[in-house]
Amino acid sequence: MKIDAVTIFPDYFAPLQLSLLGKAAAIGLLEFGVHDLRQHSTNVHNQVDDTPYGGGAGMVMMPEVWGQALDALLTPDSDLIILTPAGKRFNQPMAQEFSRASHLVFACGRYEGIDDRVRQYYLSKGHRVHEVSIGDYVLGGGEVASLVMIEAITRLIPGVLGNPESLAEESHNSEGYLEYPNFTKPQKWREISVPEILLSGNHAEIAKWRAAQAIERAKNNF
Ligand code: ADE
Q: For 49-76, how does the pLDDT look when each residue is reduced to its tens digit (9 = 90+)?
A: 999 999 999 999 999 999 999 999 999 9
Q: With a 6 A CB cut-off, is 133 part of the ligand 1 pocket?
A: yes
Contact 41, 48 (CB under 8 A): yes
- How far, in Å, are 49, 92, 130 from residue 157 at the CA level? 36, 13, 20
Q: How far apart are CA 75 and CA 122, in angstroms?
A: 11
Residue 43 pLDDT level (bands cut at 50, 70, 90): confident
Q: What is the pLDDT of residues 149-182, one digit of tens each?
A: 999 999 999 999 877 777 776 755 555 456 899 9
Of 67, 79, 76, 75, the residue nearest 118 (C-alpha): 67
Q: How far apart are CA 46 and CA 65, in angstroms?
A: 10
Nearest CA to ligand 1 atom 6: 85
pTM as predicted: 0.93
Q: With a 6 A CB cut-off, is 82 part of the ligand 1 pocket?
A: no
Percent pLDDT > 70 in the chain is 95
